[in-house]
C-alpha cells in the first residue's frame, strides 16, 4: 500500500482553441487516473486553463460521476474552460512560476497534464523544468490537441481529424447543391476554413474530390501565394467543364505582398492575427471579373465544434493520448508528450509513442510541398494517403429530442488554501 | 390489361433552391410509379427543372437501377438539376404553354409532378389548368418542398426539418465552443441562417435552448424590426449573466426603414433580393459598441445541403409526399398537393392529406406572432411545440472512406422528337 500522503494529485488543463474531441482526451486522463487510484490522487482541472492554476481556481473532477466523465468522450468544446494565455519565460515573469509552485504545493500536485497545441507545449516544457529551475518536483506531460495539425513528431493532432471530416463532408454536400442549381443560378461556391499558417484544414477539403470532376475544384492554401489571374482562369475552366466551381479557401491565404486577402484586424493573446471573411472577398472578385453568380460560407467555429460528425479515428486517438499521458506519468516520465505513430496506411494502423517536449515546443509542422499539386490548386495523392485515414469512421453522439446530448459538468471548485490572490496579467 | 398506348408517361421536375431531402421526394415519386407500371408509363425528369420540359431535355429515369433510385433517398441536392424559372401567366407568354403541350404530347405525358415551393406551386397550378385553357389533358400534382417552410395548409415543408436540425445542432455545438473560450477570448458568436421573409429557420435555432442559460441567447427574426439599442443591451446582459452570448440571425433582418442589415445586392430570377453577410455586420456592431471579441459564421448552402445530419422525420415526410403525389395522380386527381397533416404532438403523428393548389400558390405562411417571445428575441413554448417534432430522429447516409456516399445519376437523355428548338427567355 502506498501511503496516502505520498500519493500526489494531478492537475489537468485545456489550452488554446478547443476542438470537437479535446474532452475525449480529458475523459482519457480522468478515467485512467481513476483506474489508478492507488497511485494517483485526485485530478484537479484548471478552470479556464492555466489561469485556473494561477488564480487557484481548481475544479474537483472527483465530484463528477463516472457516467458524466464518460459523456465527455462525446462532448465537444472544453468542459473546464480553456484560455489563450501563454506563460512568459522564467526570466521575464518569475512570479508566475513561483505562484504555480505555491498552488501546486498547497494542493499536493505532482502531475501536470496540459492539453493544447504548440504554444501550450512550450508552457508545458517550462513547467517540466520547474524541478531543475526552482526545485519543485513535478512531472509535466503534454497532451496534444490542435485543429491546426501543426505539432511535429506526432502523426497528427487530435482535433484535426474531425475538422478535416467536417470540411470534406461539407464541401461535398454544398457542391451537390451548387451542381443542381448551376444551370440558371449559382455557379460558384466558396467555403472558408480555418488554418492561419498551415493549409492542413484546407487540404482536407480535397478528400471530397475522389473522382474526376468532383468538388472541390480549387483549394486555396496559405502556403501558395494567391495569383488572381491563374485562379480566375481555373474558376472559368471549372465552370466551362463541369458547369460550376466549388472552392475551399483557407483564412490564411495571402497575396504576393504577404498581405492576408481578408484582414479582419485584431490580434489574439498569442500575437496571431485574427482573421475571417476571405470567402466573400474571393466570391466578389469572381463575380466582378467573371460575372458568375456566387454563394459563400464561413464555417468558423462550426467546423471545430461539430462533434456530431466527428471522425471515429480522431475520437479514439484523442482518448488514447489522454490515457497514455497518465500512464507516462505513472511510469515516472517528465517533459514528454504521447505522440501518435502511424505504422500502416491501408488499413491505417497506429500506436502511441513518446516525444520529447523540447522537440515539440514552438516547432510548426507545415504542409509538405509535395502535398500540394504542382499548379498549387489541389492536393496530391501523397497528401490524400496521409489524410484519408484521419477522417475514417463515424462516432455519433447520443441524440434526444432531435439534438445531440452534450454534457455540462458541475465543475465544483476546490476550496482555496492560499491567502494571497494572484492577478493574471 | 391496360393498353400500352393508353398508358401515359409522367413528367417530374425539381424547382427552386434544392434541399437535403428533395431527392427523397423524387425517390418516392419514381419508386411508386415503378410499382404501378401497369397504369403509369415512364417517369421523365426535366433536366434543370421546367427548363428541361421547355427545351425537350428530358431524362429517362427508367435507365437508373432500383439501387440507384433508392440511394436518392439519402442524397442531398436535386439529382436532375433544378432551376429558378417562373412561368409567366398564360396571357403574357402563351408560347411557353404551347411549347409545354407540344413536348408533353410528343412524349405521351399525362402526369406532371412539380417539386417546389410557393412560386413553383403557382406554375403547377397553371399547368393543371391546361386542359381547361388549352385543351391538353394533364393531371398536375405539386410536391411540396422548401427550406423556407412558408407553404400554407401543409403542417410543414419537406426540406425545412433538416435545415432546422442543422441549425439547432450547429448553434448548440458552436456555443459549447464559445462558452469554453469566453473567459479570455471570444465572448460573442453570431451565426447567420437563411430565411428571406419568414423566420422559420432562425426560430429553429431556438430549439437548442432547452434550459436556462442555454444557447442561443438571442434570435434575430426578419419579422421583428431590428432595434440596435435593445439588442446590444440584451447582448451585454447575456455576457454578464452567462459569460458569453450566442446569436442566431436571419439573413432577412431589417432596420426600422425596412432596409436589410446586410445588402449583398442582386436579385434572383423570382425577383427576390439575394442576401448574405448580416453576421459580420452584427458582430462588428457588437465589437464597436461593447468591445467584446467575436466570431461569426455564415452557414449558407451548408445548412440546406447537410444530408449527413438530416431529420429522420423530414426524410420520411419528403418520401411520403412524393409517393402520395403519384397515388393522387392514379386516383384521377388534378391541381392538388399532398399536404402533411399533424394529428398529434406528443408523440408526433402525421398523415398525408390533400390541398387544393389554388389555395397554396402564392400564399406565404409567415411565422405566427405568438411563436416569437414578447421581447422579440426568442421563441415561445408554442413555437417549440410546433418545431420540435420536425427535427426528430437521425437518418445517417452510408459512409465510405469517412465520407457520405451520395449518388450521381447517369441522367440519360430521352431522344428528342420535336424538330423545333425552343429558346428559354
Q: What is the CATH number of the domain that holds A168?
A: 3.40.50.460
Q: Are both A247 and A346 inside the same structural domain? A: no
Give me the residues of A, 119-178, that contact B with CB < 8 A.
Answer: 165, 168-170, 172-174, 176-178
Test B185 with A305 for CB contact under 8 angstroms: no
Predicted local confidence at residue B425, as pLDDT: 73
Q: Are both A335 and A303 inside the same structural domain? A: no
Task: Examine the fold and report which residue of B271, B289, B305 is the final residue of a domain before the chain moves on.
Answer: B305
C-alpha separations of B85 from A169, A188, B270, B396 in Å: 29, 19, 7, 32
What total of structural domains would you count in chain B? 2
Predicted local confidence at residue B108, as pLDDT: 98
Predicted local confidence at residue A262, as pLDDT: 78
The label of the residue with cell 418520401 reads B319
Give me the residues of B, 319-378, that contact A with CB < 8 A.
Answer: none
Helical (H) or strand (E) element with A245? strand A245-250
pLDDT at A182 over 80: yes
Q: Are both B135 and B107 inside the same structural domain? A: yes
Distance from CA of B277 to the nearest CA of A (A): 8
CATH of the domain at A133: 3.40.50.450
The per-residue pLDDT for range A43-85, each reduced to its tens digit, is 999 999 999 999 999 999 999 999 999 999 999 999 999 998 8
pLDDT at A5 over 60: no
Judge whether A69 lies within some domain: yes
Judge whether A152 lies within some domain: no
pLDDT at B274 over 50: no
User: What b-and-e string marks burial along A143-169, b requiring 16 or more CB atoms within 10 Å of the CB?
Assistant: bbbbbbbbbbbbbbbbbbbbbbbbbbb
Q: Are both B128 and B171 inside the same structural domain? A: no
Q: Which residues contact B28 (CB under 8 A, 6 or more apart)?
A: B318, B319, B320, B321, B322, B323, B324, B325, B326
The per-residue pLDDT for range A9-19, each reduced to its tens digit, is 999 999 999 99
Listed in order, strand segments (DSSP E) in B194-258 are 218-220, 245-250
- Nearest alpha-carbon partner for B372 in B235, B222, B267: B222
Q: What angle do CA B141, B143, B145 make, to 5 degrees?
A: 155
pLDDT at B152 over 80: yes
The per-residue pLDDT for range B340-362, each reduced to its tens digit, is 999 999 899 999 999 999 999 88
The per-residue pLDDT for range B369-418, each reduced to its tens digit, is 999 999 999 999 999 999 999 999 999 999 999 999 999 999 999 999 99
Cis amide bond preceding A64, omega within 30: no
Judge whether A421 lies within some domain: no
Q: Which of A19, A85, A186, A305 to mutate to test binding with chain B, by most B CBs within 10 Å of its CB?
A: A305
B148 is catalytic: yes
Judge whether B312 lies within some domain: yes
Cβ-Cβ contacts under 8 Å, B308 against chain A = 169, 173, 309
With H, G, I as helix, E, B as strand and everything else as coil, classify residue B97: helix
Test B177 with A298 for CB contact under 8 angstroms: no
C-alpha separations of A274 from A277, A384, B240 in Å: 10, 29, 24
Q: Are both A81 and A218 inside the same structural domain? A: no
What is the C-alpha to C-alpha distance for residues A69 and A116, in angstroms, rounded to an integer?
20
Taking the Cβ of residue B215 and every Cβ of chain A, the question of whether any pair is shorter than 8 Å is answered with no
Per the CB < 8 A criterion, the answer to whether B64 and B358 are in contact is: no
Judge whether A417 lies within some domain: no
Beta bridge partners, B413, equal B59
Judge whether B416 lies within some domain: no
pLDDT band at A264 (very low <50, low <70, confident <90, very high): very low
pLDDT at A104 over 90: yes
Phi, psi of B43 (to 5 degrees): -105, 115
Judge whether B121 lies within some domain: yes
Q: What angle do CA A120, A126, A132 make, to 5 degrees?
A: 160
CB count within 10 Å of CB A422 equals: 18
Q: Which of B24, B281, B298, B314 to mutate to test binding with chain A, by most A CBs within 10 Å of its CB?
A: B298
Q: Are both B121 and B170 inside the same structural domain? A: no
State the maximum Cα–Cα separation within chain B, in Å, rounded to a whole number: 77
Judge whether B136 lies within some domain: yes
Average pLDDT, chain B: 94
Q: Are both A166 and A292 inside the same structural domain? A: yes
Cβ-Cβ contacts under 8 Å, A384 against chain B = none
Give this complex's ipTM. Answer: 0.95
Average pLDDT over residues A172-190: 96
Half-sphere exposure of A296 (CA within 13 A, CB side): 27
Q: Are both A270 and A167 inside the same structural domain? A: yes
Predicted local confidence at residue A239, as pLDDT: 98
Taking the Cβ of residue B59 and every Cβ of chain A, the question of whether any pair is shorter than 8 Å is answered with no
Task: Give the structural domain span for B336.
Answer: 4-146+308-362+394-404
State the maximum Cα–Cα separation within chain A, in Å, rounded to a whole number: 77
The per-residue pLDDT for range B4-16, each reduced to its tens digit, is 457 999 999 999 9
Q: Are both A98 and A39 inside the same structural domain? A: yes
What is the C-alpha to C-alpha distance for residues A17 and B168, in angstroms, rounded to an integer?
22
Q: Which of A171, A209, A298, A384 to mutate to test binding with chain B, by most B CBs within 10 Å of its CB?
A: A298
Q: Are both B86 and B125 inside the same structural domain? A: yes
Q: Are both B316 and B297 inside the same structural domain? A: no
Taking the Cβ of residue A16 and every Cβ of chain B, the question of whether any pair is shorter than 8 Å is answered with no
Average pLDDT over residues A415-424: 92
Taking the Cβ of residue B306 and every Cβ of chain A, the question of whether any pair is shorter than 8 Å is answered with yes
Test A300 with B305 for CB contact under 8 angstroms: no
The label of the residue with cell 500506436 reads A351
Q: Are both A231 and A164 inside the same structural domain? A: yes
Amino acid at each position: 500500500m502506498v501511503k496516502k500522503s505520498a500519493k500526489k494529485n494531478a492537475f489537468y488543463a485545456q489550452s488554446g482553441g478547443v476542438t470537437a474531441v479535446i474532452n475525449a482526451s480529458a475523459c482519457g486522463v480522468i478515467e485512467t487516473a481513476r483506474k489508478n487510484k492507488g497511485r494517483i490522487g485526485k485530478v484537479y482541472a484548471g478552470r479556464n486553463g492555466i489561469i485556473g492554476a494561477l488564480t487557484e481556481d481548481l475544479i474537483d473532477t472527483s465530484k463528477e460521476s463516472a457516467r458524466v466523465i464518460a459523456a465527455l468522450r462525446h462532448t465537444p468544446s472544453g468542459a473546464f474552460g480553456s484560455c489563450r494565455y501563454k506563460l512568459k519565460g522564467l526570466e521575464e515573469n518569475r512570479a508566475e512560476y513561483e505562484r504555480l509552485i505555491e498552488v501546486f504545493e498547497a494542493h499536493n500536485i505532482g502531475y501536470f497534464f496540459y492539453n493544447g497545441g504548440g504554444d501550450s507545449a512550450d508552457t508545458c516544457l517550462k513547467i517540466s523544468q520547474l524541478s531543475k529551475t526552482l526545485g519543485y518536483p513535478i512531472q509535466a506531460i503534454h497532451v496534444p490537441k490542435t485543429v491546426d495539425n501543426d505539432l511535429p513528431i506526432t502523426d497528427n493532432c487530435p482535433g484535426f481529424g474531425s475538422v478535416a471530416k467536417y470540411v470534406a463532408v461539407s464541401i461535398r454536400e454544398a457542391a451537390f447543391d451548387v451542381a443542381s442549381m448551376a444551370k440558371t443560378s449559382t455557379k460558384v461556391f466558396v467555403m472558408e476554413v480555418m488554418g492561419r499558417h498551415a493549409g492542413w484544414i484546407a487540404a482536407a477539403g480535397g478528400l471530397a474530390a475522389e473522382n474526376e470532376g468532383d468538388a472541390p475544384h480549387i483549394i486555396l492554401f496559405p502556403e501558395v501565394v494567391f495569383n488572381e489571374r491563374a485562379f480566375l482562369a481555373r474558376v472559368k475552366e471549372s465552370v466551362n467543364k463541369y458547369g460550376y466551381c466549388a472552392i475551399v479557401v483557407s483564412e490564411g491565404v495571402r497575396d504576393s505582398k504577404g498581405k492576408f486577402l481578408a484582414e479582419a484586424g485584431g490580434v489574439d493573446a498569442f500575437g496571431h492575427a485574427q482573421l475571417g471573411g476571405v470567402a466573400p472577398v474571393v466570391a466578389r472578385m469572381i463575380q466582378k471579373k467573371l460575372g458568375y453568380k456566387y454563394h459563400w460560407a464561413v464555417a468558423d467555429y462550426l467546423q471545430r465544434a461539430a462533434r456530431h460528425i466527428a471522425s471515429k479515428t480522431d475520437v479514439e486517438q484523442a482518448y488514447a493520448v489522454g490515457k497514455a499521458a497518465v500512464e507516462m506519468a505513472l511510469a515516472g516520465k517528465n517533459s514528454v508528450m504521447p505522440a501518435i505513430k502511424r505504422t500502416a496506411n491501408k488499413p491505417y494502423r497506429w500506436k502511441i509513442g513518446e516525444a520529447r517536449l523540447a522537440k515539440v515546443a514552438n516547432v510548426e509542422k507545415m504542409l509538405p510541398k509535395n502535398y500540394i499539386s504542382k499548379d498549387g490548386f489541389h492536393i496530391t495523392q501523397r497528401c490524400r494517403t496521409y489524410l484519408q485515414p484521419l477522417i475514417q469512421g463515424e462516432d455519433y453522439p447520443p441524440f434526444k429530442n432531435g439534438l445531440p446530448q452534450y454534457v455540462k459538468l458541475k465543475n465544483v471548485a476546490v476550496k482555496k488554501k492560499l491567502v494571497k490572490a494572484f492577478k493574471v496579467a
